[in-house]
Structure 1
Amino acid sequence: MKTTKNTILITGGSAGIGLELAKLLTQNHNKVIITGRNQERLQQAAIQLPNVTTIASDVSKEADVNNLVNTLYTDFPDLNIVINNAGHALLYDITNPTANAFGKAADEMHTNYLSVIRLNEKLLPILKNQPEAAIVNVSSIVAFVPGALAGYSASKAALHSYTQSLRMALAETSAIKVFELMPPLVDTEFSRPIGGQNGISARAVAEAFVNALEKNEYEIRVGNTEQIYQLFRSSPEAALQAMNKSREQAQTHNS
């Protein structure tokens, strides 16, 4: 897959991994559009990324998605890469009857999984018109082994399964490539409640993505995601223990 002269949509592109992806991809001479729910953050991102188009849009809201899609079809008919990076995570006790685990998990599943399906479905026609195109779904190490964020882990596992199905289906009917970016713990504000300060940098994730995109490596397991994945293949129980031991150590370090 070419890594320059693309037109790229990045949802959740105003901070964290999405912002670093936007920085790196614009440096590589791509046309980049970023979305986000927070207008102030988008404005701050625009200052750092003068050649990037910003669109206020919430992937979980149907009206926002419809407006975004209309804008893309009208103003960016050459759109050929969609990076589904927007996500939502909540830390709560799934054993506590007063925690509203159902409502919170439903919110996470809607944003992290169902909203990705909706946006991809609406953008497939424009992607199919391009000589080379790609969909990138950003999941997580927890797609294989769950951690503290129960609902988030489940939503990313669902996204991983969907991504595999989408890749197979599009390979039979189109030239659209489907990638999955699987970061480990990353040092972002998003992951701070679970010890994100001990994670790798968002820039490292962005660099690993661009390198894998160029090589057509469809499952991009960044950092220790690869080690956890290999351990998971040999012993799911050992991988679960290792994953959650690391989490406990990170939380202890930050307490």
Structure 2
Amino acid sequence: MKTSNNTILITGGGSGIGYEIAKLFSADNKVIITGRNAEKLEKAVLSLKNVTGIVSDINSDADVSKLTKHLNEDFPNLNIVINNAGLAHYFKLTDENANAFEKASEEILTNYLSIVRLTEKLLPLLQKQPEAAFVNVSSIAAFSPGYTLPGYAVSKAALHSYSQVLRVSLEKHEKRPLVKVFELMPPLVNTEFSKSIGGENGISPEQVALDLKKALETETYEIHVGATADFYKLYLSSPENALQAINANRK
């Protein structure tokens, strides 16, 4: 599909992967970024061109309803939604007072349920466009979980499954043109988001953005960024070995 002259929404676009995607695509697209932190969002908008910032919490039903109304009224040509906003808690299920339930609840809401809600609300708008797509940012953890990110891994596995179900559902739906569904699956990425788990050893967020652009152009729906490509092959050959590999150097 085309990668220019689109109107693109990026949740969590004020930093990290979302910011780099906004930076790359803002050169020849209209881009809207959202986030909860108004100061961070304003700073991002001032550093980019063709970008509008909307303060919005994807976990708030009221905020999402306002955002949907705003987009329908002011950005009626919206045709790409990049569900990038995410949350990760670094802990172990065996930690004393891990509060696993509370942390997992937050991660499931942010990384999975909020995307289901936003997708459902924006699908009618995207179905009006000549060409449209959802991009869900999941993770290498969707294939095999790291035990120091238990809630995050489970939420990304749920998002992976949802992305597949959404893609098949839209393919079987009689409405045309087809709304496409992409899933962006990075490995460890060097961002503030991943700082607590050694993010400085990860790939650059710029590379993730470039891989997304290439995948849109070639209509590669499941995007295995960097080391995810080789890990996926290991996972297919031996899920047990993949599980051991992803947990080998974790402490």
Fold similarity call, TM over 0.5: yes
Q: Secondary structure at the match of 1:187?
A: coil
Identity across the alignment (%): 61
Q: Secondary structure at the match of 1:217?
A: coil
What number of residue pairs does the alignment pair up?
Answer: 247
Using the alignment, how far apart are the partners of 1:246 and 1:94 within structure 2?
A: 17
Using the alignment, how far apart are the partners of 2:153 and 2:130 within structure 1?
A: 35
Q: CA RMSD in A?
A: 0.9
Unpaired stretches in structure 2, ≥5 consecutive residues: none
Using the alignment, how far apart are the partners of 2:169 and 2:160 within structure 1?
A: 14
The TM-score with structure 1 as length reference comes to 0.95
Say whether the 8 Å CA contact 2:29–2:50 is kept in structure 1: no
Where do residues 116-195 of structure 1 align in structure 2 (5 Å cutoff)?
116-147=115-146, 148-173=148-173, 174=175, 175-195=178-198
The TM-score with structure 2 as length reference comes to 0.96
Query: What's the counterpart of residue 71 of structure 2?
Result: 72
Residue 93 in structure 1 maps to residue 92 in structure 2: yes
Please tell me the residue identity of whatever aligns with 1:199.
Answer: G
Using the alignment, how far apart are the partners of 2:29 and 2:74 within structure 1?
A: 16
Query: What's the counterpart of residue 7 of structure 2?
Result: 7
Using the alignment, how far apart are the partners of 1:231 and 1:171 within structure 2?
A: 29
> What is the CA distance between 1:146 and its match in structure 2?
0.7
Query: What's the counterpart of residue 21 of structure 2?
Result: 21
> What is the CA distance between 1:149 and its match in structure 2?
0.5
Where do residues 98-109 of structure 1 align in structure 2 (5 Å cutoff)?
98-109=97-108
Using the alignment, how far apart are the partners of 1:226 and 1:56 within structure 2?
A: 35
Please tell me the residue identity of whatever aligns with 1:233.
Answer: L
Q: Which has the higher helix share?
A: 1
The runs of at least 4 consecutive aligned structure 1 residues that moved more than 4 Å come to none
Using the alignment, how far apart are the partners of 2:142 and 2:227 within structure 1?
A: 13
Using the alignment, how far apart are the partners of 1:110 and 1:46 within structure 2?
A: 26
Residue 234 in structure 1 maps to residue 237 in structure 2: yes
Say whether the 8 Å CA contact 2:58–2:64 is kept in structure 1: yes
Q: Secondary structure at the match of 2:248?
A: helix
Deviations 1:117-139 (A, max 9, x none): 00000001000000100000000
Deviations 1:26-49 (A, max 9, x none): 12x110000011111101101211
Unpaired stretches in structure 1, ≥5 consecutive residues: 249-255
Using the alignment, how far apart are the partners of 2:220 and 2:202 within structure 1?
A: 23
Using the alignment, how far apart are the partners of 1:247 and 1:222 within structure 2?
A: 21
Please tell me the residue identity of whatever aligns with 1:178.
Answer: V
